[in-house]
Amino acid sequence: MAGTGTTKAAAFLSLFVATGTLMCCALPALLVTLGMGAALAGLVSTVPAITLVSEHKDLVFAVAGSMLLGAWLLERRARAAACPTDPEQAAACQSARRGFPFMLTLATVMCAAGGFFAYLAPRLL
């Protein structure tokens, strides 16, 4: 599949960045909602960078959205490419075509959940 490496890297980077949106916004909100404020305090004292990420959530979500959009565009372009004729490479190509959309969908859902907790949930409560 043409561009498989690029598409694979974009999918993994998107998943990584989407995880950052969860760490900055959704995880703290979930812990507080479940009455685990002490666990959140322990997490923040252990990993103080979480507060830094939270302070720059607009940038985090802008980067995550850009990465996700780029990954979806690369995946769509790679989907239209022909798979190799070699049976092993063709099998890997087909496997990638099934796996990448799932990974990108997971990253998109994670980013949406983080966005909900970062921007909508505070206004609803």
Please, are residues 24 and 61 in contact by the beta-carbon 8 Å criterion?
Answer: no
Query: Within a 10 A sphere around the Cβ of 4, how many other Cβ atoms?
Result: 19
How many CB atoms lie under 10 A from the CB of residue 9? Answer: 13
Domain boundaries, the chain: 4-124
24 and 57 in contact (C-beta within 8 Å)?
A: yes
Read off the pTM: 0.73
List the Cα angle 66/73/89 in 5-degree steps. 125
Over residues 53-91, the pLDDT tens digits come to 788 889 888 988 898 898 888 888 887 788 888 888 888
